[in-house]
Amino acid sequence: METLFVYIRDLYILSRVKFLVNLLLMVMLGMLEGIGVLMIIPLLMVTGIIPGMQASSDWAFGLDQFFQNIGMTLSLPLVLVIYTSINFGQSWLQRCQAMLNFDLQQEFAVSLSIRLFRAVAYAKWQLLMSKAKSDITNVILSELTRVYYGMNIFLQMVATALITIIQISIAFMLAPGLTCSVLVGVCVLFLFLRSFYMESRKMGQDITKLNSDLLFTLTEHLNGIKDIKSNGIESAQMNSFIRTRNMMKKNLSRYNKLQTRADMYNKVGAAIFISLFLFSSIEIFQLNPQQLILVSVISSRLWPKLASLQMGFMNIQTMLPGFRAAKELESQCLTAQEDLPQDEDGGRIELKNGVEFHDVSFYYESARAKYALVNADFVLSAGTTTAFVGVSGSGKSTLVDLLIGLLTPVKGNVLVDGEPLSEHLRPWRNSIGYVPQDPFLLNASIRDNLLWACPDASEDGVWEALRLAAIDAFVNSLPEGLDTVVGDRGVRLSGGERQRIVLARALLRKPSVLILDEATSSLDAENEKRIQQAIENLQGKLTIVVIAHRISTIQNADKILVLEQGQIVEQGNYQSLISNRVSRFHALACSSTE
Ligand SMILES: Nc1ncnc2c1ncn2[C@@H]1O[C@H](COP(=O)(O)OP(=O)(O)OP(=O)(O)O)[C@@H](O)[C@H]1O
């Protein structure tokens, strides 16, 4: 119920006026349903067109009188004009309501998805890391789509409920005892169908889980498609997909069965209700014929409304878990927002002195018992090149993530030119050029990939960055040059070309600090040499931080920090560290050349 209230509140807050007008139009249309057909017979009777039939409606006589007063006769053409006009009016109202409804639905869709996307985009890295990407995609795409469609069902339900209340009130005025007995019958039916609502909700939760599983299988498959093909394990992936897809089918069939069963009970209930109703009207309440006709008309309209209310309620129950999943994701992301102005034009930091790590410790929330970094204390001087080395799992990436401000120390401070990094996160991020181990490229041209991080860069600036990254000759040699499309994640380029394009992109931003996170680890000697050369050309011009697996690539670094189990166990330049034959660095260097 709480989720339903939040849903209504969100919908109402979005656009109060449209929400209320839409609802009003829905109620009006519901009340006017079939009015044209209902009116035509009394009007035809008044005109005497149907011989031998006497009209009994006061309003039809009133209308006839009105036309007589203005010197017109209620003839057949006039009746048909009135009938057509009523239908036109109704259709026009219907169209207005449909358009308003569509607008509201789209506004709801856009606002919910933007809100959620923003919450995700500015959430802390640590939270995002802990989530499966497919779960986030599923909530933003599939679950929210269910929520938008649910809006229509929900509004329809509210309108139906309002119409039903009006009809019940009229019925109550005409025959209070009978109406009360009808209401008791309705309550009994609602209680009887309660288990259906609970089952619907459970199925809604299953749909959320299965949607997520399906997307997970699909995205994991596409992400790992090369590995999957190379290892010949397509069939295992296929089986997992088929299993989830079949479970979805089973779940939907179950839902379909539940719906058709509820529909059947409603119809049987209607027959029982009408029989009991007629029996009690005639035998117990002894209504006069006029009351009987009126209450019969109302009740024959009441039951379908109640049935549609029940079906609507069931549909809402299946939709609500989708809404809850979206709200949960949003609230988790909002409570873990980065302290970062969303305006990206937050200036830059030109590093003057350097970055200091003061006694910094960090552990991951999912592994609190184990520090990934312990009491790190060092300085990255501006304009120098520093390398982090250590065996796998020693804490190098954690250190870099703390340097970028993606992670926040659980103890200690990171200072940028003497100021806490956390207070200057936006300008700091604007000043960083980051080249990851697995470079991220858009399925677009080389030009678009470069401009992605720096939209205002000039053509000359782009070529300068390509030159610095030692990839200008390659781009020049391509028939389409900068307009060459690189394919999904850059599949049409070699690993080395990808790395250098991403390096060029990082350099295009003219960063104060360039971070190379194992940027050469997967390259062959030739490509590694090229990147190496590119980095050496940059040395002294900006502050460079390198994570390196191959010790040979960091011989020219000004400072090397050796990490072991989250601790900086040695630091110094290459010569001082390598000359100590019992140092960890020496051992690392030996194992890296083996
Ligand atoms: N998201 C995470 N949740 C929990 N523990 C993590 C997470 N990421 C890293 N760790 C742990 O933190 C420690 C340091 O990991 P980190 O990735 O910083 O090492 P690394 O030196 O960069 O390793 P590699 O060279 O293999 O990339 C490791 O013990 C690792 O298991």
Q: CATH code at 531? A: 3.40.50.300
The pLDDT tens digits of the residues spanning 198-216 come to 888 888 888 888 888 888 8
Within 8 A by CB and 6+ apart from 170, the residues are 298
**Number of H-type helices and E-type strands within the chain:** 22, 10
Does the pLDDT value for residue 299 go beyond 70? no
342 assigned to some structural domain:
no
83 assigned to some structural domain:
yes
**What single letter denotes the amino acid at residue 429?**
R
Check pocket membership of 398 for ligand 1, CB cut-off 6 A.
yes
Q: Which residue reads 């401000």 in tokens?
A: 405
Check pocket membership of 364 for ligand 1, CB cut-off 6 A.
yes
Kindly calculate the radius of gyration of the chain based on its CA atoms and give it in whole angstroms. Answer: 36
Does the pLDDT value for residue 61 go beyond 80? no
Per DSSP, the three-state class of 259 is helix
Ligand 1 nearest atom to the CA of residue 400, by list position: 18
349 assigned to some structural domain:
no
Check pocket membership of 396 for ligand 1, CB cut-off 6 A.
yes
Check pocket membership of 429 for ligand 1, CB cut-off 6 A.
no
How are strands ordered across the β-sheet holding 513-517? 432-435, 513-517, 543-547, 385-390, 559-564, 567-572
- Of the given ranges (46-60, 347-361, 388-402, 409-423), which has the lowest mean pLDDT? 46-60
Does the pLDDT value for residue 593 go beyond 60? no
347 assigned to some structural domain:
no
Does the pLDDT value for residue 464 go beyond 80? yes
More confident residue, 228 or 465: 465
Q: Looking at residues 357-362, what average pLDDT do you find?
A: 94
More confident residue, 335 or 26: 335
With cut-offs at 50, 70 and 90, classify the pLDDT of residue 471: confident
pLDDT at 402: 94
Same domain for 372 and 500, yes or no, is yes
Does the pLDDT value for residue 266 go beyond 60? yes
**What single letter denotes the amino acid at residue 232?**
G
Same domain for 250 and 185, yes or no, is yes
Enter the tokens of residue 256: 């379909």
419 assigned to some structural domain:
yes
Q: Which of 308, 337, 366 is the last residue of a domain?
A: 337
With cut-offs at 50, 70 and 90, classify the pLDDT of residue 359: very high
Same domain for 193 and 53, yes or no, is no
Q: Which residue reads 């006769």 in tokens?
A: 73
According to the per-residue pLDDT averaged within each range, which of 347-351, 409-413, 524-528, 547-551 is highest?
409-413
Does the pLDDT value for residue 37 go beyond 70? no
Cα dist from 364 to 182, 329, 410, 487, whole Å: 61, 20, 9, 35
Q: Could you give the CA distance from residue 276 to residue 279 in angstroms, rounded to a whole number?
A: 5
Please give the distance, rounded to the nearest whole angstrom, from the Cα atom of residue 392 to the centre of ligand 1.
8
Does the pLDDT value for residue 422 go beyond 90? no
pLDDT at 550: 76
Same domain for 84 and 135, yes or no, is no
The pairing of beta strand 513-517 with beta strand 543-547: parallel
Same domain for 16 and 161, yes or no, is no
With cut-offs at 50, 70 and 90, classify the pLDDT of residue 51: low
Ligand 1 nearest atom to the CA of residue 367, by list position: 4
348 assigned to some structural domain:
no
Within 8 A by CB and 6+ apart from 17, the residues are none
Does the pLDDT value for residue 53 go beyond 60? no
Task: Compute the C-alpha angle 266/270/273, nearest 5°.
Answer: 130
Nearest to 165 by CA among 186, 146, 151, 147: 186
Same domain for 65 and 152, yes or no, is no
Contact 82, 42 (CB under 8 A): no
Does the pLDDT value for residue 356 go beyond 90? yes
Q: Could you give the CA distance from residue 284 to residue 374 in angstroms, rounded to a whole number?
A: 85
Percent of the chain scoring above 90 in pLDDT:
14
Ligand 1 nearest atom to the CA of residue 394, by list position: 21
Q: Could you give the CA distance from residue 502 to residue 493 in angstroms, rounded to a whole number?
A: 12
pLDDT mean across residues, the chain: 82
Q: What is the CATH number of the domain that holds 195?
A: 1.20.1560.10
Same domain for 447 and 487, yes or no, is yes
What element of type H or E holds 96?
helix 76-121
Same domain for 492 and 525, yes or no, is yes
Q: Could you give the CA distance from residue 462 to residue 506 in angstroms, rounded to a whole number?
A: 11
The pLDDT tens digits of the residues spanning 498-526 come to 888 888 898 888 889 999 887 666 566 77
With cut-offs at 50, 70 and 90, classify the pLDDT of residue 233: confident
Q: Could you give the CA distance from residue 453 to residue 433 in angstroms, rounded to a whole number?
A: 10
Query: Which of 130, 361, 392, 398 for mutating ligand 1's site (highest number of atoms within 8 Å of CB)?
Result: 398
Please give the distance, rounded to the nearest whole angstrom, from the Cα atom of residue 397 to the centre of ligand 1.
7
Same domain for 429 and 575, yes or no, is yes
Check pocket membership of 368 for ligand 1, CB cut-off 6 A.
no
Check pocket membership of 397 for ligand 1, CB cut-off 6 A.
yes
Q: Could you give the CA distance from residue 171 to residue 177 in angstroms, rounded to a whole number?
A: 10
**What single letter denotes the amino acid at residue 442?**
L
Q: Which of 309, 337, 365 is the last residue of a domain?
A: 337
Within 8 A by CB and 6+ apart from 563, the residues are 388, 389, 390, 394, 395, 396, 399, 569
Please give the distance, rounded to the nearest whole angstrom, from the Cα atom of residue 504 to the centre of ligand 1.
27
| Number of residues written out for the chain | 594
pLDDT at 410: 92
Q: How many domains does the chain have?
A: 3
Check pocket membership of 393 for ligand 1, CB cut-off 6 A.
yes
pLDDT at 403: 94
Does the pLDDT value for residue 55 go beyond 60? no
Q: Could you give the CA distance from residue 86 to residue 40 in angstroms, rounded to a whole number?
A: 10
Contact 499, 531 (CB under 8 A): yes
Q: Looking at residues 577-593, what average pLDDT do you find?
A: 79
Enter the tokens of residue 568: 């900086």
Within 8 A by CB and 6+ apart from 27, the residues are 159, 162, 163, 166
| Cβ atoms within 10 Å, residue 16 | 10
Q: Which of 276, 310, 337 is the last residue of a domain?
A: 337
With cut-offs at 50, 70 and 90, classify the pLDDT of residue 9: confident
Same domain for 84 and 230, yes or no, is no
464 assigned to some structural domain:
yes
With cut-offs at 50, 70 and 90, classify the pLDDT of residue 54: low
Ligand 1 nearest atom to the CA of residue 566, by list position: 14
Check pocket membership of 366 for ligand 1, CB cut-off 6 A.
yes
**What single letter denotes the amino acid at residue 544?**
I
More confident residue, 422 or 61: 422
Cα dist from 395 to 43, 251, 372, 551, 567, whole Å: 87, 45, 6, 17, 8
Check pocket membership of 69 for ligand 1, CB cut-off 6 A.
no
Q: Could you give the CA distance from residue 515 to residue 530 in angstroms, rounded to a whole number?
A: 17
Within 8 A by CB and 6+ apart from 484, the residues are 445, 446, 475, 478, 492
Query: Which of 128, 361, 388, 394 for mutating ligand 1's site (highest number of atoms within 8 Å of CB)?
Result: 394
Does the pLDDT value for residue 363 go beyond 90? yes
343 assigned to some structural domain:
no
With cut-offs at 50, 70 and 90, classify the pLDDT of residue 169: confident
pLDDT at 342: 62
Please give the distance, rounded to the nearest whole angstrom, from the Cα atom of residue 443 to the centre of ligand 1.
29
Same domain for 576 and 532, yes or no, is yes
3-state helix, strand, coil in the chain (%, to 5): 65, 10, 20
Does the pLDDT value for residue 332 go beyond 90? yes
Within 8 A by CB and 6+ apart from 77, the residues are none
With cut-offs at 50, 70 and 90, classify the pLDDT of residue 297: low
Q: Could you give the CA distance from residue 410 to residue 331 in angstroms, rounded to a whole number?
A: 23
According to the per-residue pLDDT averaged within each range, which of 141-145, 217-221, 324-328, 346-350 is highest?
324-328
pLDDT at 486: 77
For residue 283, the enclosing domain spans 124-337
With cut-offs at 50, 70 and 90, classify the pLDDT of residue 32: confident
Same domain for 327 and 288, yes or no, is yes
| Alpha helices (H) along 122-233 | 125-129, 133-138, 144-174, 176-192, 194-223, 225-230
- Would you give the DSSP letter of residue 123? B
Q: Looking at residues 265-291, what average pLDDT do you find?
A: 75
